[in-house]
Structure 1
Amino acid sequence: MKLLVPIDGSKASINALRKAIEIAKEYNFSITLLMVVEENHWGYERNQNFWHQVDGSIISVGVEHEVVSKLEERAAELLDAAASTYDFSGIDLEKMVITGEPSIEILDLAKKEGFDLIVMGNRGMSKIKRFFTGSVTQRVIAEAPCPVLSIHEDLK
């Protein structure tokens, strides 16, 4: 049995990780920790036309790849820190960093690898913000090929 645990460093995702460890130990699940790095998260894509109007040489494609590479390295470090902070004894653990749009990458991996359960945090956006922007957790719940356990940041 396989558990997918996407984490982003938020309190909700850390609570989800703790719950996933409990489930894995109780029911003999393996865990795959996943961090998704958003390529366009740092804002270059959004302001690309502006930068080219000012000076096309300010930001180059090489810089974009360098930034994504640094984000991937940082994500791997965070996964390593999570793996060393919590007790994964007796649990088969895999760590993955993927670049892309979080909900799409989580769903694709869940389908491709045949996960039995996804345990993820829900940071609790306001209803208005969720209406306009959606939520990674909401989309995963709606489209996942397996059950999804959504953990709030207020979990004790």
Structure 2
Amino acid sequence: MKILVPVDGSLASKNAVAEAIKIAKKDNGSIKLITVVDFHALAAATGEVYVAIVKQMGEDADILLNSIINETDFGGLYVEREVLTGRAYEEILRAAEDEKFDMIVMGNRGFSRIKRFFVGSVTQRVISEATCPVLVVHTEAEE
């Protein structure tokens, strides 16, 4: 079973990773962790400021994925990671369909240091439009 897990560093997404591990272990599956950097939110930034913010957001996303992988016991499961850019729900749905994931496991809401990525509306869009099952792990978001 191929499981896609969108993460943003929130408690909700960390709990989604833990749940995905349980499922993958039962089904001899694999996990792909993704995080989405949404540059659309930077419409007001220009020039060097824009470039600096984009660079920092990408670096932060990469650090996030590395920290989750380094701090989590995946119990020998095959784990991939990828930083995507775009609108969160669109990139989650695109990844799920393009790579033919069997399931998406995600938190019900979350946060990012720079911007909220995974709010209820993102989860709702993924649930509504995904072509595979979506398991939503309900956890209060960190404030």
User: By the TM > 0.5 criterion, same fold?
Assistant: yes
RMSD over equivalenced CA pairs, Å: 1.8
Q: State the distance in 1 between where 2:82 and 2:95 align.
A: 10
Q: Which residue, out of 86, 92, 96, partners 1:110? A: 96
- Contact 2:108 2:120 (C-alpha < 8 Å) held by counterparts: no
Matched, 1:26 2:26: yes
How many residue pairs get aligned? The number is 132
Which of 145, 150, 154 is 2:131 aligned to? 145
Deviation at 1:64, TM superposition (A): 1.2
2:46 aligned with 1:60 = yes
1:29 positional shift? 1.0
- Which string of whole-angstrom CA distances, capped at 9 and with x for unpartnered residues, describes residues 120-139 of structure 1? 00029xxxxxxxx9611100
Query: What is the Cα deviation at residue 82 of structure 1?
Result: 0.5
Structure 1 distance, partners of 2:93, 2:59, is 23
Q: Give the AA of the match of 2:76.
A: G
Tell me the secondary structure at the aligned position of residue 9 of structure 1: coil
Matched, 1:3 2:14: no
- The superposition leaves residues 43-62 of structure 1 with CA deviations (integer Å, 9 ceiling, x where unpaired) of x41xx3xxxxxxxxxx5334
1:2 partner amino acid? K
Say which SS state the counterpart of residue 135 (structure 1) adopts: helix
**Percent sequence identity over matched residues?**
49
CA shift in 2, pair 1:3/1:134, >3 Å: closer
Distance in 2 (CA, whole Å) between partners of 1:89 and 1:67 is 36
